[in-house]
Structure 1
């Protein structure tokens, strides 16, 4: 599956949240993300990501192991994504280290997630704050089967963002990992 996603800086978070609430109640969750690479940075060099995410929700805590391959759309940064739920995040962290991967960065994301159906697609809208990064972001994504479907999916995502008051000038390709690294280096 390919995650067709656009991310934007949000100028008026309260307005966007109200617009999203019209689609349903959001779920408040805190993500603890740890990104891994081999010691030589081979995953980063080929534009791939390996992440363990622990999600703390109001009713449960769960964890995911995610691998994202290189971008298939340069403008949006959309990537093929392979993800699975894991029972024991501590064991997965140990396995990755034993396989020679090293944690390269870990940080927290405070999210409010909204599932919505628009333009004939299931989408996930996530309002994001990263404590170490200034501002609020909105991620809007939908999944497509193959690279051929990415362009149309991104057009639909862009249209929904416009309905939420987000225009193309608000879009950003800034990565949280890069922003956190920059902040920690300052």
Structure 2
């Protein structure tokens, strides 16, 4: 049986961002965890315009190729880790925009949060993100990796090198993601048509 697919989503798209280095660490940690097939999804590469579909996403009546492409990416995942910085006590508009594009594709899947920032460790961004995820019927896990003063973990080459506490937090998040993903899979299986009842002759 194939493993569930976990997508690590880079929420920041701005030039000079550090979130890609953090996301690559999460990707490597998830690969070492061994419970998932892991994909890195960089919203800067996806390059969605500001939401421009005329129909509500729940209808899946997409008129643009970029939306159909984004739908296909998100639909193949069974769980997500959203890597987000904190912008003005919230998460980036690029991540909100990417979430708003779709509806059905997100539903009944577990989501982990990795936030980074200064003294707040991006916690206000994570707090703002959780109700958005639940409104899309995702299930955020309690376990998370929150990274305070994240610049101290960056090498001169720009790689992210966590301490033991961050690694332990990340592994705890992945354990819970796998547990919830396993539990949620039956909710996304097609419902079998009821068998026709025989009528008396």
Could you tell me the TM-score, scaled by structure 1's length?
0.33
Bigger proportion of residues as strand = 1
* Higher Rg of the two aligned structures: 2
Q: Greater share of helix residues, 1 or 2?
A: 2
Higher relative contact order (CA 8 A, sep 6+): 1
Give the TM-score normalised by structure 2. Answer: 0.31
